[in-house]
Structure 1
């Protein structure tokens, strides 16, 4: 794990601040220079026409193929490319056929593939392999790819854009609370975010004012992008940002005071500060008709799928980044809380937290079985984001140290051409 150096610097007012040195951006201005906005309209139109031609060809493959294994492999390939939203009806019809098929003569590959395809679509499959095959882990990178690329069809373009401004603003806010500001400055920023109006900027230090105004502007742009009957959704995301800011401030007080809370007290705050719930809300913001007012009410009640995703993200983050954060004079993590509460060492604490992650996965898998509590696209976003957390924190903290595997994954999804 890469060690992050921490230095103390003084500003022009004589205030001593922490300054953590991270590696510079591995991309520079690549994505700015290669933005899709720079594509010629004529080239874009040709691509759209080609997409429609290929969609017709793939739909014909479903009609012309009678071999069950070939159909399963076709579905698997489409899902790995994250193109299944183009062929929802064809896939549903094929999976109903696959569910009814007699699999007693299948080998290990055919049985495991059938199990995964049906299970991740919400079928309650009963098989001898069910206990040993964990469908949520079979395609971790698939979920990670979804978070990176999002959906490319027109009705999900707004969701992709909104989820990305929202995430960038959150990342900056995390750095302000976690790394640079003083406790008094964090208190001022928290109060301003709770007020959520332009007048509140006057109470902030100069270096935070630009961030605060940009935060408000981004949300105004979100609202402008939405249809009239969708604008209410922005309030839900505002509430999420406020909750995260309050949680950030509470954790920063723990760090300053050297306070190590109990695990339950920690999770009441840190499941919110993980921002998993906020990211999920930002995904729903531009999803069109499927994201109804009832969906946002369901989501805001912190239902079991959202809670499970937050547990997965928080605990995996803490387990992986525990050592680095202690070198940065960070607030106590859930690892330290467990160690203090149970009198254990780091190894035992991490093992117990991993067991909590496994339980959260079981709960999330149960909630994803048909019939789902809400529309399947809503649940799928939670599943995909949870899978991405597994990939980001599996071996190292790929979010913080993003110049290795993270860079390669982003390159595979957004830079390198897909061979056809």
Structure 2
């Protein structure tokens, strides 16, 4: 949240144009690009789809053959490759059956550290309860677990990040091998491909990578492997291009919608983040058959971002009070309570949200009204931050800060909206449970809040802004900005 002093004292009737102290944002570099963008012709798309259908069945036969094979390494590397190439969603049942058989092998798979690490990683990723004790037999005399083989070392490091609290053996693997991986970056004679894998592993461990970004990267990596399967590689390339067409069509629809909204509402107070928000939603649900979910989520999260900027950058405290009260009524007539320059945005928030609710109801979605609930929920959090901002209040510790700021980072709301967008996959009880910030939701939200504050700390503190978790951590421990950021990174 941020607001300049001139706006804070401005009369409620002041026009947006007169508030020359607002932040100025550069226009989106994308503009109307996706309205006319055509990655391929209709004939080319149909040809790709036809080839992909045939190759898909060939890959399915490869997976089934591997399932009946006794070669554990082949099974594990096949599943890993399909996931990293971004085509595993086509073979969910086959992969589940294969991993169930692997899990049934109580031997732990192998006395080979690479195999044990990959098995542990894949099974944990798919929700199987696998004990970290499988690594005990690999400890050296000092109690460390490591390898001189780069592929084994990166796989071990990725596997250890599947840890839960209290798994000291995995904590030690990460701590000991992080410096080893970092030292490899300094080796001039390391193969460039291995060097890149080490760099990527240190930057973002495997299970935290965005699937589509990893797919694009790993297609190029897999293509250079001597042991690649050319059928799988060709299918992965085709599938990637076909899915990109789906994303492009979604962005075309969204750009037209966004352009229409901007013609009716002055949105110069806000960042133009349409493509960015679609990319974020694609990171949550990437499969092509969730097209409606991505479009709906992009629209709703964009409105949450716009609401944030209304409170943060476009209204005085008095105006934010009026805006919150009016929105809680959820009635276009309530626009009469707020300044004229805010009314177009206010009415369009209600109209666009109600339209989404109507679409969901036509799909027989039992939780359509939750969309409105999430908008109101986050608005209350934004409004609470205004009070902290105006009082220049610095919470005593990070935990106190999170009591309010968890709601305003919108992570919980996006979790709930995602489940609603996917159709009949959740219950009202589950939604109410998520609203209580259970550990799994709180964990995601804490990470989102802290990462957001670290990235925006310098920019936001240049103006009158609510105290961030970075500043709170500095006060709590009496440390510098840099030291506070490091502490927060460990916390998250």
Query: TM-score range, shorter-chain basis?
Result: 0.7 to 0.9
| Residue number in structure 1 paired with 2:98 | 94
Instruction: Name the TM-score, length of structure 2 as normaliser.
Output: 0.63
Check whether the contact 1:18–1:180 (CA below 8 A) recurs between aligned residues.
Answer: no
Q: Does residue 177 of structure 1 match 2:311?
A: yes
Quick one: structure 1 residues 160 and 350, their matched pair in 2 at CA, closer, same or farther if it must change by over 3 Å? same
Quick one: structure 1 residues 229 and 31, their matched pair in 2 at CA, closer, same or farther if it must change by over 3 Å? closer
1:73 to 72, 77, 88: 77
Check whether the contact 1:274–1:313 (CA below 8 A) recurs between aligned residues.
Answer: yes
What SS is found at the alignment partner of 1:291?
Answer: coil
1:284 to 419, 422, 425: 419
CA distance in 1 between counterparts of 2:16 and 2:443 reads 44
Q: Does residue 324 of structure 1 match 2:456?
A: no
What SS is found at the alignment partner of 2:444?
Answer: helix
2:349 to 215, 224, 242: 215
| Residue number in structure 2 paired with 1:361 | none
1:342-384 Cα shifts (integer Å, max 9, x gaps): 4333334333322321xxxxxxxxxxxxxxxxxxxxxxxxxxx
Instruction: Name the TM-score, length of structure 1 as normaliser.
Output: 0.73
| Residue number in structure 2 paired with 1:167 | 301
1:325-350 Cα shifts (integer Å, max 9, x gaps): 11132110112223223433333433
CA distance in 2 between counterparts of 1:17 and 1:267 reads 32
Q: Does residue 201 of structure 1 match 2:335?
A: yes
Q: Does residue 134 of structure 1 match 2:161?
A: yes
1:230-275 Cα shifts (integer Å, max 9, x gaps): 4442322322211211111221222222121233332111000010
| Residue number in structure 1 paired with 2:58 | 57
Q: 1:138-287, aligned counterparts within 5 Å?
A: 138-142=206-210, 145=213, 147-148=281-282, 150-154=285-289, 156-227=290-361, 230-263=364-397, 264-287=399-422
Q: Does residue 313 of structure 1 match 2:316?
A: no
CA distance in 2 between counterparts of 1:28 and 1:307 reads 36
**How far does residue 123 in structure 1 lie from its aligned partner after superposition?**
1.5
Q: How many equivalent residue pairs?
A: 350
Q: 1:103-118, aligned counterparts within 5 Å?
A: 103=108, 105=110, 107-118=112-123
| Residue number in structure 1 paired with 2:125 | 120
Q: Which deviates more from structure 2 when the two are superposed, residues 278-287 or residues 333-342? A: 333-342
1:150-198 Cα shifts (integer Å, max 9, x gaps): 33343x2221111110111112112111122211221122112211121
Check whether the contact 1:62–1:90 (CA below 8 A) recurs between aligned residues.
Answer: yes
**How far does residue 215 in structure 1 lie from its aligned partner after superposition?**
1.5
1:110-135 Cα shifts (integer Å, max 9, x gaps): 33222211111112222327897103
What SS is found at the alignment partner of 2:22?
Answer: strand
Check whether the contact 2:473–2:484 (CA below 8 A) recurs between aligned residues.
Answer: yes
CA distance in 2 between counterparts of 1:288 and 1:47 reads 29
| Residue number in structure 2 paired with 1:414 | none
Quick one: structure 1 residues 144 and 354, their matched pair in 2 at CA, closer, same or farther if it must change by over 3 Å? farther
Quick one: structure 1 residues 300 and 250, their matched pair in 2 at CA, closer, same or farther if it must change by over 3 Å? closer
Q: Which deviates more from structure 2 when the two are superposed, residues 56-65 or residues 289-298? A: 289-298
| Residue number in structure 2 paired with 1:29 | 32
What SS is found at the alignment partner of 1:24?
Answer: coil
1:218-241 Cα shifts (integer Å, max 9, x gaps): 222222222458444232232221
| Residue number in structure 2 paired with 1:406 | none
| Residue number in structure 2 paired with 1:387 | none
Instruction: Extract unaligned runs of 5+ from structure 1.
Output: 358-420
Per chain length, whose mean CA-contact separation is higher, i.e. which structure has more relative contact order (CA < 8 Å, sep 6+)? 1
2:491 to 317, 342, 356: 356
What SS is found at the alignment partner of 1:139?
Answer: helix
What SS is found at the alignment partner of 2:210?
Answer: helix
Quick one: structure 1 residues 198 and 337, their matched pair in 2 at CA, closer, same or farther if it must change by over 3 Å? same
| Residue number in structure 2 paired with 1:302 | 437
